[in-house]
Amino acid sequence: MDKLIAPPEINMERLGEIVSGYGQQKWSLIPLVQEIQAEFGFIPPAAVPIIAEKLKLFPSEVQGVVSFYEQLYTEPRGRNIVRVCRGTACHVRGGKTILKLVKRQLGLEENETSEDLEYTLETVACLGVCALSPTMVINNQVYGHMNPKKIKEIFKREEGTCS
Amino acid sequence: MQPVTITLDQRVVSGHAGMTILEIARESGLDIPTLCHDPNLEPVGACRLCLVENEATGALLASCVTSVAPGMVINTNSSRVVEHRKNIVKLLLASHPDACLICDKGNRCRLQQIATDLGIGFNELEKIPHTAAVEELNAFITRDAAKCVLCGKCIRACQEIVVEGAINYYRRGFATKPATFNDAPLEQSECTFCGLCVAMCPTGALMEKEKPYQGTTRFSVQSTCSYCGCGCPLTLEIKDNQIVRALPGELDLPRQGALCVRGSYGYDYIHSRDRLTRPLLKENGSFKEVSWEEALAVAGAGLKAVKERYGPEALGVYGSSKCTNEENYLLQKFARTVLGTNNIDNGSSLYNFATRVGLDKATGLLSTTNLLEALEQADLILVVGADPPVTAPRLGYAIKRAVKFRQAKLILIEPRRTKLTNFAYQWLRPRPLRDPALLNSMARTVIDEHLYQAEYVNTQTEGFYDLSEALESFRPEVTADLTGVPAGEVRKAARLYALANKAVIVFGSGLTGAVNGTESIKALANLALMTENVWGSGCGLYPVQKENNAQGACEMGSLPGYLPGYQPVADPEVRQSFELFWKKKLPAEPGIPVLEAVSRGRDTPLKALYVIGENLIANFKGPNHNAEALSSLDFMIAQDLFLTETAQYADVVFPAASFAEKEGSFTNFEGKIGWLQQAFPPLGESLPDWEIILRLAREMGDPLPYSSLQQVINEIEEYVPLYEGYYHPEERLGDKWSYWEERRHRALQSLDGFPGFSSPDVLPGPETEPGQYPFYLLLEASIAYFGSGTRSGKAWRLKSYYPPEVLKISPGDADKLSLSGGDQVSIVSPTSRLAAAVEVSEVVPPGTVSLPASFPNVEQLFGAALPGKGETPPPEACYVKLERVNPNG
């Protein structure tokens, strides 16, 4: 985890290929940025002027749309997305402490990504499994009845599978 | 339109279907407060302050976005509405800093006004301040997002009116703010500092930054911008004989009232410390301040002495395309009746020469054949050798609006990459000086493919047969090697233009300033005529004018060959009629263009020169000859705001008043009249140009018969064709624009017979070998540097915005010469050499290099301005070679 990996190089050629697949219509913008995100994991700022020129929009306009949607990212994200629930049920059962401990464990604040691109930490409003509160999700795996010990164990295991 | 009647606060009011409740309310005199609404912008309903109550349903509606429906009963001011409105304002204030006392927006703040009107004092809501600061280095605009109420006016102004798109909403919810791409400072964005966002911002979020004068406006005047040929209406806000602020004119057309950086912030030169405040007299090579009496006496005696010794033809008068119509009228009358010479000219006459010759036969009109607002109706816009967003921003905005919002197609013929490139449907980059071949090939294609309006051409025009013969050798396949534009592209452009329903052509100094500009403009006129695109909404030819009164100065007769109204001085009938009006004998021989006279250097036929508001030395290329001519004169008078490079040569210098200090009118490039209203008295002892001319005539013992400016205006109305009733066109014709229509009709009538085609005089020549000077050097206009920099150089905010002084070279050429960014080179032309640093840039095509027009001494690289027989405008480009400067020796 200490080893630093440089953020992924953006393959501008591939970016050009994706962009060239879209017409000049305004409505192409969201499908286009989604495809770019699917390819690169995020929407590189360098892509914005290229998208703008293709769709005959202003870069500021494209940025306006990209920055509006929570599901569009402008920075690279970690290979593992950790979401800690901040919902009411989790909160009354110590969710706040769980979040604090996960932050400490990963050395990350909310919406931050580790330098080696291993983890991104986010919070979520409710997972809908309040019976398991406090909860946390790593990628698609839900972890319920969280406690400090469990946090340590989960991340130990995770690291085992990752490295 | 369907009439609609509704009940508004117990009053029955009527409007028509499609109106909003807000519009109907404001029309009937009810004031509903708004922050985000502006009649010039698309309504968004963002601020919610305009909410009103629908009595039937109880719904609260944002009146700015709700259309009226028949029978609606609306309360705009019920206690429920007011309560909600108060809450909205309180919420806005809760995140707004309590900085009103030190906020420069002061009592102009709409938020403050509305809060006061609603009686909001102490706000019990908890404060959640926004903290956002962007460090800006530019001299024009400062942004404070903490004071932003997210009305979105700035964003809409930037997107909808000036179509720059520098800012947009960024992020979401409470974090939202207007931001540039990457949230960068404005100077690193697309922003051109037009100032419209600042003018529209209701709070202190967007403010003018380094204003020369602070304080609360005492009064405002309606004026006209003094820079480019667009002549935008201007509101000047005044306090203590100082301009506090310049804003778009109050009476400007809807959705067109936007200034540029020059209009909004370029007025600083008026308050420059370098302004001349007293007449100057040269004694033993240096100037001393003297009284008007003394200066006028020396000036009068000087002119008289030369006239007596050498005759009137040795006198020359050089008027200004920056002076008013009235001043130009007086000046040419002074030259012709007091001095007795036709040697009168103005700075724009040479730039207009190509246009005049090129368009005359086809249109009979020497200006645009249509109004700017008609341009936005076009389906296709062909822009050739022009960069309107820089040289004529108002025209640039209109082109961009037509492309962005009306899906007009833009064909751009321009070697450099400009702001319009991103808007272009098709971009052609011809080789230097190959525009005539390219444009004639387009015409050839239209003829070959029978895309012209055959019936119109056959019945209402002349010379088509000759033209199609003459264009035989211009098939695109033949000219492609010459122009560097593939035949397919030329054919595509020709088809687009000819098949468009309504098409306009815009051209600028890329053509008018090229040695073969006349040929290009003739080709454009032919194209427009054969496709019937000269007249009518969405059609026309638009020459870009450089100076704000270039049109008017020529129409007033500040030309060696023409009396007012472009009437040839050589025509005895015309002369006779003016002799009758003026009760004076007029010289019969057309005069010599002043520039031609001075470009002969020491051999100039002139012995005395009276120069008003023109900078012969800096404005025209080849200054050495001009300087020699000026120093060989026996006597010279200069009249200007500043002691310019040209005024340095004068024996007497008269201090002139700026546009804000006088009255009069300008004629813009469309032929529209813009009036000046005096904002404050002239600085020091300076006087308006018209008054100086009158005083000088009186001094020479031959007074012109006027005691006020109004008498001059009356005379122009009476004697200058196209200017009847120009003072109050509304009174005579009901509205201003039918005045313009009449003007156009009269021009068309002035044609002898039908509009005619002009055959090219030059056949497509063989490709020239790159000789000793392989690079074509272009001058790149910039929005802040204007003309020769006489005024923009004294407007310090503009000066801070001059482009970097570098030579732009294409990546391919840089590779060939193994140059990289920052390297020093010598630019060598046949006449001179200059050192510059290199910037490798995609902006210029291979074989071409460019320097900013503001580059010091750049004019020395150009050949002398030798207009020959007045047929060639002075070149604004030349061939050069580059020599690397070895840093080691």
How do the domains of chain A map onto residue ranges? 12-68, 80-162
- Say if residue A156 is exposed, middle or buried (CB neighbours under 10 Å; 0-12, 13-18, 19+): exposed
Contact residues on chain A for B166, CB-CB shorter than 8 A: 58, 60
SS3 A24: coil
- What pLDDT does B213 receive? 85
Using one digit for the tens of pLDDT, what is the confidence trace for B687-705?
999 999 999 999 999 999 9
Q: How confident is the model at residue A6 (pLDDT cuts 50, 70, 90)?
A: very low
- Chain Cα centroid distance, residue B675: 16
Contact B749, B353 (CB under 8 A): no
Q: What is the mean pLDDT of residues B222-231?
A: 94
Average pLDDT rounded to a whole number, residues B483-508: 96
- CA–CA separation, B854 and B794 (whole Å): 13
pLDDT tens, position by position, B39-49: 999 999 999 99
Residue A163 confidence (pLDDT): 43
Interface probe for B, chosen from A29, A57, A58 (most Cβ of B below 10 Å), is: A58
In this prediction, residue B357 carries a pLDDT of: 80
For domain A80-162, the CATH class is alpha beta
CA distance B410 to chain A (A): 13
Q: pTM higher than 0.90 for the full model?
A: yes
Give bridge partners of residue B428 from the DSSP assignment.
Answer: B413
B-chain residue closest to A44, CA distance: B182
Tell me what pLDDT residue B622 has: 61
- Architecture of the domain defined by A12-68: Orthogonal Bundle (1.10)
Mean predicted lDDT score pLDDT of chain B: 91
Confidence of residue B735 (pLDDT cuts 50, 70, 90): low
Return the structure tokens found at A111. Answer: 């919406």
Alpha helix locations (H) across B702-856?
Answer: 709-719, 729-733, 736-749, 796-799, 811-816
pLDDT of residue B864: 54
Q: Touching check for B648 and chain A: CB below 8 Å?
A: no
DSSP state of A74: S
C-alpha–C-alpha distance, residues B548 and B566, integer Å: 18
- Is the ipTM above a cut-off of 0.85? yes
For residues B380 and B382, what is the distance between their CA atoms, to the nearest angstrom? 7
Angle of CA points B172, B177, B179, to nearest 5°: 115
B171, B182, B423 member nearest A45 (Cβ): B182
Residue A2 has pLDDT above 60, yes or no: no
The region of weakest confidence among A78-92, B116-130, B440-454, B807-821 is B116-130
Residue B421 DSSP label: G
pLDDT in tens, B343-353: 999 988 767 77
* Cβ-based neighbour number of residue B88 at 10 Å: 17
Tokens of B845: 């095509």
Q: Among the CATH numbers 3.90.420.10, 3.40.50.720, 1.10.240.10, 3.30.70.20, which is that of B127-271?
A: 3.30.70.20
- Residue in the block written with tokens 């009411």: A88
CATH architecture, range B280-348+549-749: 3-Layer(aba) Sandwich (3.40)
> What secondary structure does DSSP assign to B751-779, as a single string?
SSSS-B----SSPPPPPPP--S--EEEEE
Give the pair of three-digit tokens for residue B72: 């609606």
Q: Where are the domains of chain B?
A: 3-77, 127-271, 280-348+549-749, 351-543, 775-884
**Residues A111, B419: Cα–Cα separation, whole Å:** 38
How is residue A28 written in tokens?
């192409």
Q: Which pLDDT does position B706 carry in this prediction? A: 95
Q: Are B159 and A64 a contacting pair at CB < 8 A?
A: no
pLDDT digits (tens, 9 = 90+) for B71-80: 999 999 999 9
Query: Predicted confidence band at B740 (pLDDT cuts at 50, 70, 90)?
Result: low
CA nearest neighbour of B650 among B311, B273, B318? B318
Q: What is the mean pLDDT of residues B66-95?
A: 96
User: CA-to-CA distance for B226 and B660, rounded, in angstroms?
Assistant: 9
Query: What mean pLDDT do residues A34-58 have?
Result: 93
Decide if B422 and A59 are in contact by the 8 Å CB cutoff.
no
Q: Identify the pLDDT of residue B252.
A: 84
Give the right CATH number for B775-884 from 1.10.20.10, 2.40.50.100, 2.40.128.110, 2.40.40.20.
2.40.40.20
| A48/B181 Cβ within 8 A | yes
| Contacts with B180 from chain A: Cβ below 8 Å | 60
Q: Do B168 and A53 make contact, defined as CB atoms within 8 angstroms?
A: no
The pLDDT-based confidence of B130 (bands split at 50, 70, 90) is confident
pLDDT score of B370: 85
According to DSSP, the residues that pair with B608 across neighbouring strands are B315, B635
Residue A46: closest CA among chain B residues belongs to which residue?
B182
Tell whether domain B3-77 is in CATH 3.10.20.740: yes
Task: Give the residue ranges of DSSP H helices in B407-549.
Answer: 435-448, 454-460, 464-470, 476-483, 487-499, 509-512, 517-530
What integer pLDDT is reported at residue B142 of this predicted model? 93
The answer to whether B26 touches B32, Cβ cutoff 8 Å, is: yes
Count Cβ atoms below 10 Å from residue B340 Cβ, excluding itself: 18
Q: What is the tens place of the pLDDT at every residue in B462-472?
A: 999 999 999 99
Of A45, A48, A61, the CB nearest to B165: A61
Average the pLDDT over B594-613 and give the result.
90
Share of chain B above pLDDT 70, in %: 94
What CATH class does B351-543 carry?
alpha beta
Q: Over 50: is that where the pLDDT of B867 sits?
A: no
Residue A71 pLDDT exceeds 80 = yes
| Tens digit of each residue's pLDDT (9 = 90 or more) over B381-427 | 999 999 999 999 999 999 999 999 999 999 999 999 999 999 999 99
A97-101, B472-476, B598-602: segment of lowest average pLDDT: B598-602
Buried b (16+ CB within 10 A) or exposed e, B650-671: bbbbbbbbbbbbbbbbbbbbbb
Supply the mean pLDDT for chain A: 89
Residue B768: the pLDDT is: 60
Find the helix or strand (DSSP H, E) in which B399 lies.
helix B393-406
Instruction: Give residue-wise pLDDT tens across range B313-360.
Output: 999 999 999 999 999 999 999 999 999 999 999 988 767 777 878 888
Model pLDDT, residue B330: 97
Query: What's the maximum distance between 2 C-alpha atoms anywhere in chain A?
Result: 54
Residue-level length of chain B:
889
d(CA B147, CA B524): 51
B41 in Cβ contact with B401 (< 8 Å)? no
Mean pLDDT, to the nearest integer, of B442-450? 97
pLDDT attached to residue B822: 93
Residue B600: predicted pLDDT: 82
Confidence of residue B843 (pLDDT cuts 50, 70, 90): very high
Taking an 8 Å cut-off on Cβ atoms, the answer to whether B170 and A67 are in contact is yes
Q: Could you tell me if B859 and B621 are in contact, meaning their C-beta atoms sit under 8 angstroms apart?
A: yes
pLDDT of residue B194: 96
